[in-house]
Structure 1
Amino acid sequence: METSAEAHLQRKVSSTHAGSLRSSSTVKESMMVGFDDVLLQLLDKLTGGHRNRQIIPIVGMGGIGKTTLARHIFEHALVKEHFDLCAWTTISQTYNVRETLREVLYQVSGDSRDDLSDENELGEKLHKYLLGRRYIIILDDMWSVEVWYKMRFFFPDYNDGSRVIVTTRLSNLAAEVTDSNSIGMRFLDDVYSWSLFSKTVFGDEGFPLHLEEIGKKIVGKCKGLPLSIVVIGGLLAKSELTLEYWEHIEENLSSTVNSENDEYCLRVLKLSYDHLPAYLKPCFLYMGMFGEDEKIRVAELMRLWVSEGFLKPIINKSSKTIANEYLMELVDRNLILVHRFGAVGNIKYCKMHDLVRDLSFQEAEKQRFYYVLGQHCPRGINSRRRIFIPGSTSDKTVRDALQTMSRARSFICHDDRVPQLLDFRFFRTLTTYKCSSEYSQENVFQSVNLRYLSAEFRDEFQIPSSISLLWNLHTLIVSCWGGLKTAPVEIWKMHQLKHVEFVYPGMYLPDPPSGHSDVMMENIETLKGVIDFNLNEEVVKRIPNIKKLYIRYKHKVMDRVKCLSYLHCLSKLETLRCFIDDGSDEYLQSISFPHSLKKLHLQCGNFFHLEEILEKIGSLPLLEKLRLICGQFATRSWEIVEGQFPSLKYLSLVWCGDMECWTLEGSCLPRLEQLYLGYMESLEEFPSEIGEIPTLKSIGLWSCSESMAVSLKKIVEEQEELQGDPSIHVRVRSFNVSQELQSLATPNFRVVKR
């Protein structure tokens, strides 16, 4: 099997010239190599004649492919057809029963509410929802049988053929959850190991003859462990094609293959780390601070890299571009996993395999790269520059430690209890949550060296005017739960700011100081969470390089209703999210979009006439993603004519009322890949031209009319007859799934009850 715990090798995100490094800017495809018989065996256990609920453990050492096998099962067409409900959750060593139950409940029911604080309440609700439905639940990476004992009664057993798959490294745990049904993973033999190695290093290209002999020696020393083969293959895919270099790799491997435990894997991974360029090593080590199995938001990660000074400046390249190149290099080397792609192909979330995270953590500890504060505060830590405080650390330990950490430059705390800090004037990075107002005003906003500040403030907190003293600050993320506040006018004097985010409920931004036309925020690229933003000629001049803007209009202010007409002056704006509350639709009547726009998320009032704005949106030459929420079609129809939406890849319409007819003319939407419609009850039929869009890959319907699903099914069948293989994957979700709607279901046309 080509990968282990989190599907290391995923689909390609870009291609490279044949003469360049083979895996540059790619994420390799996930494949099964050598385990077809195990896959068939597991499929038989899942769909076989046993009617009682079956617990099926997949057992093997770390990196041998347990999760990859489970993932292939989870995505297998036969499994999707056989089971009514499917859910996947990762347990890990530091499990949380409540969060696990909540994740399973969300996946099977779509219920994302967080109002059930007790795990028993969550479990009972999950039990009621699963009752009477054939389900498959995958519990990935289980380390303790206690978590199973706490959850097993919430998975009903009513002789309907339901299944629970558990992946674990521990054979004794597998024996405790069931007395049979275990699937034991084995190592790859020489043939399959070589096949996996060849595909990892060279893809579909031929293996150079002068490297075959040394390549087989390297593969032999990996001893059939897929993780080792993938990591070494990923390293060599980025290396020189010289016999001397490969011999060097083989010689270094020889000292690591004697152990059969996870230390062996870590030493193999260590070799991959040793061969990282110097500029990538701190970025890799920094990621060890994120939790096991944590989904890491890429945008946040890259901003932290910038604030820590990890990026090597490159002429004519922005820090964001450089950070993205660093990320892709780590992905190419299989040290970072792509967890989720965005709608237009960008990487939104990444993860680390647990063995890779162990490597990062151990190397950071050896090099004193950062200090993780545990339950005890040892002496002699006053020289540490980066301090990470896990959520489990007690307040007393934190207070005691901070007395001796006067030289700290970075403070990252994911706890909800932050004590009063002392004088941290040298801080560069500060990420904390739920700070008191007293603490923040007296300490945080006088840390003149701060580059990155992310904090959530309680009570009636107000950002003080002293914020302008933070002249190095480039990232400001603030959440004030005491109600809407107004930022101080001094914020306009902060020339270094690049990213400003006012988290819910947002914040008012005052007009720039009058008589100070030289006050500019020339570096700001992202501005989020601004309420009733008064865009005017003076404001747009002061933010000339803005690329991402999130705004909301809650109140109609007559002297501002034309402020959105100034959007077209923001010539570098690429992403716009604009929310208009009911009663404030006049703001949209004068809106004018810049031609640079690539992503648009627009929420209108319920009675706004969408025809007034869709013609403007359709003419945007670079727009790739459009999400439109609420509003209504006064003419009850929407006609997209040839030439409109020339670059659109993603289109989503939700609660857009009264659209009864949708027509497409000519070759419009030539690049559309994903289409989602939600709560469009008035629309009865899909335009047949949808099936003629060659790039279209997926369509989702949420609570739309049954007749629309029927018409879409006909379109899909016609395309399958013409093309042979299905090219459009459809997912229909509805609260009420009739027998007729259920009869439409196929592996390529999924029908799910919400």
Structure 2
Amino acid sequence: MAETAVGLVVDHLIPMLTQEASLLRGIHSQVVDIKDELQSIQCFLKDADRKAEAESHHTRKDGVKAWVGQLREVAFQIEDAIDKYMFHMGQLHDHGGFLASIRKITRSIVKLKARHDIASDIRGIETKVRKIKERSSRYGFDSLHNQQGGNINPTWYDPRMASIFMEEDQVVGIESDRDKLVVSESYDKKELLRKVMDKFCQTTTMESNIPARNGGVDEEIQIISKVREHLKNKRYVIFFDDVWKIEFWSDIEHALLDNNMGGRIVITTRSLDVANFCKTSSDVHVHMLKPLPSEKAWQLFCNRAFHFQFGGSCPPELENYSCKIVERCKGLPLAIVAIAGLLSTKEKTVNEWQKLLDNLGSELESNPHLSSISRILSLSYDDLPYYIKNCYLYFGMYPEDYSIKCSRLIRQWVSEGFITSKKDKTLEEVAQQYLTELMNRSLVQVSQVNYCGKPRECRIHDLLRDMILRKMEDLRFGSHYFPSNGSSFSEKTRRLTIHSSSQIHITNKKYSQVRGMLIFKSDLSDVTDLCETTFCATFKLLKVLDFCGAPYLKHLPGDIGALFHLKYLSVADTRVKELPSSIRKLQNLETLNLKGSMVQEVKSSQISRLHKLRHLVLTRGFGIGGIRLFKRFGCVALQKLYDVQFRDDIEELKKLTQLRKLGITGLRTTHEWSVVCECINEMRHLQSLRVGGIRGILEDVDLGSISPPPELQSLLLEIRVRKLPEWIIKLRNLVKFEIRASGLIDDPLEVLQHLPNLVVLIMADHPYDGEKLQFKQGMFQKLKHLELVCLFELNSLVIEEGALPTLELLILSFFSQSEYGSWWHSTSEKP
């Protein structure tokens, strides 16, 4: 974690401080020195973190773990110093201005004090960094980067070893697996090939004539030649278990040739990147293992827990607790075998089973048999690049079994400063790459996909979450607070998840370092219930504030504008009706999520100065006014604006050239439509577009004047059009097309069939002039979702053989226009 904390400081905070240092006389050199020292330390921090973890059970006073902890604390102090300085400076630039001379004098005095304070902090931090660097040399920690991670030999019990010697009738769910050849997390290429050669010598009469170690290229070539010679004209199957590095295949492929006799190589890995890399140079089949189904998980548990008693069957009085324990393992064989193995040594009583279930989290850490599970799972975390580790720890901020929206998680990562910018990519796109990597490493599970099969929601395995929670507490990353259970949290915690509306008795100073707060309590109605003092004064360094888990919240703090650092604010799915006027002061706000709230209008005075706002998510629904654009609209960095209504200042939309998602409703005139077309033509990054007019007012618009954005993936038209434009066939990336209230006169399928990647097609709520829709052979080879609703004049639908081969969902409903009017009238009156 020191690697992560220091990396964050070097990548993000030090550059910011370096820019400000031109204003901080006398400390510029100290800032540069701190950066140089941290960069020199950073190169071996990953191995130091790993060794500190290995020392966790027998740490000496000045060991690696203590040294790593000291370095982490310094990184946190740098972050605190910078954020506090920027907070004070930000308070002095209230856009309301200082009209009186006395206020100008006061501002100058406060500014000088803030500069003096940070100068003092920086000098103290520089001294600490130098001492830490000296200690690293004294104890030899700075030589760790010359060691291979695999040389830090584990001293813990590894339950995976038991699988090698398991009897065949004990294998459950993976019956086709056989003996495995283990490869460590880190390895030397030549030594790996030597070990393979040794295995051949042990199992055959082959002479152990392995070339001598000389460290040269010739040695490697000789070993490869020797292995190839042995395998020539032989049938063989070789297993490599738990491979981590993508270079592994390139290291062994020339030695373990796939000959005509049927030689086979089987590699198991937790990383999809490893599997994909193997596919680049040979004919490889990738088999994705899934968690054990419930019946297999239960069978494995009983075989292990009751192997020597009860004939491998669970006694009736233990079934309830056993089922809960198995459910907690979520189909993970490693966990099932280890926990069942531990229970096999216990008395078969309800008390023993209940005790383990209630204390499973602590048992995983303290019990030598179960702690090995945590350490095995930690290997995946330790192997992550430092810039992704914080992102993964953030999953621990959510409740157990919580399915997290990917977009929500990504925006929180960005707001926390975890994402490093890359050329030609938005921060959100980089964050999406990070999330995909975590999924490819099997550290994150996809719990829901969108219409085109991309992840919409995700979660983590309970045991991985337990591992994360322990690291969060140990590293001061974050804490969960349950006042009703009498729980508490460290004064030094940097993030807080609250599970109660009970007051947290906090003073203004003790918890000022909290950067993120997530609320998951249904009965919270007012923020004043969270704190006995002023909320915003207590948590003045907040960057993320998420009330999505508090559906009965009615009000935000009136002084929320005092949260200078706030970048992410969500009142989604709450009862908040209006935003405080002070929200205009949140000059660093990047995400404002109002979806599902009762906010019906965002006033111009509230957001016109939020120049960094990137995501403005509004409610789409009956009776909701949305947002109105206005002159001097300042949110030019917006990437998402959904939904928006226009009035007299529709031209302001032209400024929003960075939009990725746009929803426009309430268009009334052909002038408004033409302006919208001009604006859309300038949005070259647009991926999702919804356009809606007022039914009965804006009729028969011309779509031909739009030049479609090349990256458009989703298009929703809620306006009356008579004919689809030819430019639609140019949208090669379009996966979803929805059209409502159109009144088409031509068969739309003749145009839409040219969209090769269309997955979702919805046509609804309009009088279709044609009487028949015909899906001809070969049409829509990727379409999964087809919805035809209320096409008033349609009386015939034909789907020929060979059309729609991948269709999964078909929704059909037909009304005459008079019937539809009666249905709408009756249903609209219902609550």
TM-score by length of structure 1 reads 0.56
Q: Could you tell me which of 577, 585, 590 is aligned with 2:690?
A: 577
1:615-626 superposed matches below 5 A: 617-626=728-737
Counterpart contact for 1:383–1:407, Cα < 8 Å:
yes
Larger fraction in strand: 1
Alignment match, 2:758: 648
Alignment match, 2:201: none
1:29 alignment partner AA: M
Alignment match, 2:631: 513
Alignment match, 2:276: 16
Counterpart contact for 2:722–2:745, Cα < 8 Å:
yes
Alignment match, 2:589: 473
Counterpart contact for 2:410–2:432, Cα < 8 Å:
yes
Q: Deviations over 1:548-604 (max 9, x none)?
A: 112322x73686354432322322211113344533443955673623252334253
How far, CA to CA, are the matches of 2:712 and 2:553 in structure 1? 39
Q: Does 1:495 align with 2:611?
A: yes
Q: Could you tell me which of 621, 635, 642 is aligned with 1:528?
A: 642
**Identity, % of aligned pairs?**
20
Structure-2 change in CA distance of 1:288 and 1:441 (3 Å)? closer
How far, CA to CA, are the matches of 2:629 and 2:559 in structure 1? 27
How far, CA to CA, are the matches of 2:603 and 2:543 in structure 1? 22
Q: Deviations over 1:308-327 (max 9, x none)?
A: 11123333332122212211
Q: Does 1:389 align with 2:505?
A: no
SS at structure 1 position matched to 2:276: coil
Cα shift at 1:663:
3.9
2:495 alignment partner AA: R
Q: Could you tell me which of 681, 684, 700 is aligned with 2:809?
A: 700
Q: Deviations over 1:128-153 (max 9, x none)?
A: xxxxxxxxxxxxxxxxxxxxxxxxxx
How far, CA to CA, are the matches of 1:287 and 1:437 in structure 2? 24
Structure-2 change in CA distance of 1:679 and 1:559 (3 Å)? closer
How far, CA to CA, are the matches of 2:566 and 2:365 in structure 1? 46
Counterpart contact for 2:789–2:811, Cα < 8 Å:
yes
SS at structure 2 position matched to 1:305: helix
Counterpart contact for 2:626–2:644, Cα < 8 Å:
yes
How far, CA to CA, are the matches of 2:286 and 2:569 in structure 1? 32
Counterpart contact for 2:447–2:457, Cα < 8 Å:
yes
SS at structure 2 position matched to 1:640: helix
Q: Deviations over 1:508-547 (max 9, x none)?
A: 4444435xxxx7544321112223476744421x111111
Counterpart contact for 1:377–1:400, Cα < 8 Å:
no
Structure-2 change in CA distance of 1:300 and 1:462 (3 Å)? closer
Alignment match, 1:752: none
SS at structure 1 position matched to 2:613: coil
How far, CA to CA, are the matches of 1:624 and 1:511 in structure 2? 29
Alignment match, 1:549: 662
Structure-2 change in CA distance of 1:579 and 1:705 (3 Å)? closer
Bigger RCO of structures 1 and 2 (CA < 8 A, at least 6 apart): 1
1:19-418 superposed matches below 5 A: 29-30=288-289, 58=298, 61=301, 175=319, 225=337, 263-375=371-483, 381-390=490-499, 393-396=500-503, 398-400=504-506, 404-416=510-522, 417=524, 418=526
TM-score by length of structure 2 reads 0.51
Unaligned runs of 5+ in 2: 1-172, 176-267, 305-312, 341-363, 529-534, 816-831
SS at structure 2 position matched to 1:644: coil
How far, CA to CA, are the matches of 1:546 and 1:436 in structure 2? 32
Across the aligned residues of Structure 1 and Structure 2, the Cα RMSD in angstroms comes to 5.0
How far, CA to CA, are the matches of 1:63 and 1:316 in structure 2? 55
Counterpart contact for 1:338–1:350, Cα < 8 Å:
yes
Q: Deviations over 1:698-732 (max 9, x none)?
A: 242224479xxxxxxxxxxxxxxxxxxxxxxxxxx
Structure-2 change in CA distance of 1:174 and 1:487 (3 Å)? farther
Cα shift at 1:290:
1.5
> How many pairs are equivalent?
500
Cα shift at 1:337:
0.6
SS at structure 2 position matched to 1:698: coil
Counterpart contact for 1:2–1:32, Cα < 8 Å:
no
How far, CA to CA, are the matches of 2:367 and 2:553 in structure 1? 54
SS at structure 2 position matched to 1:560: helix
Alignment match, 2:540: 425
How far, CA to CA, are the matches of 2:637 and 2:315 in structure 1? 56
Q: Does 1:565 align with 2:680?
A: no
How far, CA to CA, are the matches of 1:473 and 1:309 in structure 2? 13
Structure-2 change in CA distance of 1:643 and 1:502 (3 Å)? closer
Structure-2 change in CA distance of 1:340 and 1:482 (3 Å)? closer
1:658-737 superposed matches below 5 A: 658=768, 660-663=771-774, 669=780, 672=783, 674-678=785-789, 683=794, 685-688=796-799, 691-692=802-803, 696-704=805-813
Structure-2 change in CA distance of 1:14 and 1:452 (3 Å)? farther
Structure-2 change in CA distance of 1:626 and 1:15 (3 Å)? farther
Greater C-alpha radius of gyration: 2
Structure-2 change in CA distance of 1:13 and 1:535 (3 Å)? farther
Counterpart contact for 1:628–1:652, Cα < 8 Å:
yes
